[in-house]
Amino acid sequence: MKIGYVRVSTTEQNTIRQELIMKELGVDEIYIDRMSGKNANRPQLKAMLEYVRRGDTVIVAEISRFARNTKDLLELIEALNCKGVEFVSKKEAIDTTTPTGKFMLTVFGAVAELEREYILQRQREGIAAAKSSGKYKGRKPGVYKDFEAVIRRWRSGEITAVFAMKTLGMSKSTFYRHVRATEKTTKG
C-alpha cells in the first residue's frame, strides 16, 4: 500500500496542496497532522507508524512535512526500515531503498533542521525588536476566578491538588507556580 503523510504547522493552514500530490501519486491512505513538526510526538504520525506493514511505502510531499530535525528524521526512517517500509519524498525525489537515497535523505534532513533553526532565530529577533520598541509585552497573565478560595480549600486538605487544578483550569506547572508566588507575597 501507498501511505501518505501530510502535515501543516497550524490549524489555520490548509492541506489541499499536499493532498493533491498524494492523489496524483495514487496514495491509498492519508494521515494528516495539523501541528508543528518540531518533534515526532504527533498523533497521526504515530498512528501511521503503527498502521504501516512490510512492503508499504510512506510518501510525503517534502521532507520538512515529515520531520524538522535530522535526528527525528533518521529515527523515523529507521523505524520504517525495521518494518520493511520504504520512504519516498516527492519534492526531493528521495527513495530510501538506495544508498544514494539514504545519503540524500540525511542531507535534506540537515537542511530542514537548519531551516527550522533560522525560523526560530528570526522569531526571537522579531520579539526582541518589538520588546525594545515597546510593542511587545508578552502574554498577559491568566486570571483565575476564586483562586484564593480554591487554594485555601486545597491547603486545608478539603480537596486534592488535581481537583484544584481542574477547578481553576490550570496545568500542574502553572498551579504550583501560582502557589509559590502567593507564598512569597504572603511572607514578604
pLDDT, tens digit (0-9, with 9 covering 90-100), for 69-121: 778 888 898 899 899 999 999 988 888 877 888 788 778 778 877 888 898 89
Pairing status of strand 57-60 against strand 86-89: parallel
Q: Please report which confidence band the pLDDT of residue 187 belongs to, taking 50, 70 and 90 as the band edges.
A: low
Mind listing the pLDDT tens digit for each residue in 139-155? 777 778 888 899 999 99
Average pLDDT score over residue span 32-58: 93
Instruction: Enumerate the active-site residues.
Output: 9
Average pLDDT in the chain: 88
Q: Phi, psi at residue 33, to the nearest 5°? A: -110, 140
What domains sit in the chain, N to C, each tagged with a CATH number? 2-119 (3.40.50.1390), 147-187 (no CATH)
**Cell digits for 74?**
533518521
Higher pLDDT, 143 or 31: 31
Which pLDDT tens digit goes with each residue over 162-181?
999 998 988 898 899 888 88
Model confidence, pTM: 0.58
* Structure-block grid coordinates of residue 106: 540525511
Q: Residue 30: left if φ>0, alpha if ψ -120 to 50, beta else—which one?
A: beta
Specify the pLDDT at position 181: 84
